[in-house]
Every structure is written in C-alpha cells, then in structure tokens.
Amino acid sequence: MPVVRGAVAIAKGMGVTFREMLSPTKVENYPDGPGPTRGAVLEERYRGAHVLQRDENGLEKCVACFLCAAACPANCIYIEAAENTEEQRISSSERYAKVYNIDYNRCIFWGFSVEACPKDAITHGYNFELSVYNRGDLVKRKDDLLITKQVQSKKYRVAFSDEDVDSEYKEV
C-alpha cells in the first residue's frame, strides 16, 4: 500500500508539473519596462521597501511613538524622538522622529511595523531593487523613506487613496 500511495503522490505532483508546462508563459517586461519597477508586475498587496507618509498638510505622520520598533521581530527599526516647537513643526503631534532608520540587512518584510503603527505613518511601498555593494547602504534613513523622496509605481497610487499621498508624490 505505501508503494501505491507513493506512486499516486508522484503522479499527482507530475500532473501539476505537466499542466504548468503546457499553460501559456507569462512574460513580464522586467527590467526593460519604464518606471521605478521597470515593467515588473506586482500585486496590490506587495510588500516592498517602506514609505514614511505625510498628511494632507505636508507634515510627517510619524509621531515617534516607537510602536513599530517594538513590534519588529528583527529589531531593524531605530528611532530618535524630538519635540516639535512653534518655530519648527515637523509632525502634527507633540513629537516627531528626528531619526528614523530601517536596517534592510535585518528586515524580513513581515509587516508587523506597518500593522502596529496607529497613525498609518509607515507603509510598504512597491520598490524592491534594494541590492547594494556595501552593507552600510542597506540602512535607509528618513530621507530615503519619506514619500516625498521616493518614486513609486503607478499601481501604488491605486493601493492608497489620494489623501494618503501628498501633492509632492512623484508618479512615473
């Protein structure tokens, strides 16, 4: 009986293989397509490199509550908080993230930080070309992560409503 069961399992597995072999091949236009994802076709829920969001007034949504850093199982988020002043307002709340780093040497894109954020300040974008020659370059800083400093694919705009994307959003 085990031999028969094994043969049936192999036949089932090979059935899947042959079905896939005969189905039409999908060709993605990567890396020759236009835009930051260069023709790659990504699902709407794709979790790419993170994006720090701004609100409708252009202020940073992050209020330096550290919940994302606490939720991250890889301990890859580093934040330093600072107080907003009347002269210099960075976020709408009392505090803002003076330093916000994500270490992509450690990040495993689980999305826990995104889920933990009470302000929708950190989200996943669609950018995935993160390869570098120097490990230090995988530590992305606030300036790399802010929505106004990134170029995202058009599909990203579909996944987020217009009010989540500020006017300086760059579309390619």
The residue ranges that bind ligand SF4 (CB under 6 A) are 62-68, 79, 97, 116-117, 119, 121-122
| DSSP 8-state assignment for residue 118 | T
- Smallest separation, CB 166 to ligand SF4 (Å): 16
- The reply to whether omega before 31 is within 30° of 0 (cis) is yes
Nearer to ligand SF4, 107 or 117 (CB): 117
Angle at 159 between CA 31 and CA 65, to 5 degrees: 110
- Distance in Å, CB of 53 to ligand SF4, minimum: 9
Please report where in the chains the tokens 């974008």 appear, as a residue. 125
The total number of residues shown for the chain amounts to: 172
Nearer to ligand SF4, 42 or 121 (CB): 121
- State which residue, 42 or 65, has the beta carbon closest to ligand SF4: 65
CB 165 within 8 A of CB 153: no
In terms of CB distance, is 35 or 66 closer to ligand SF4? 66
Min dist CB 149 to ligand SF4, Å, is 16
In contact, 116 and 109? CB cutoff 8 Å: no
Instruction: Report in angstroms how near the CB of residue 68 gets to ligand SF4 at its nearest.
Output: 3
The DSSP secondary structure of 29-54, one letter per residue, reads -TTTSSTTTTT----TT---SEEE-B
CA distances in angstroms from 147 to 49, 142, 164, listed in the order given: 11, 10, 10
Q: Which is nearer to ligand SF4, 37 or 166 (CB)?
A: 166
**Least distance (Å) between residue 108 CB and ligand SF4:** 17
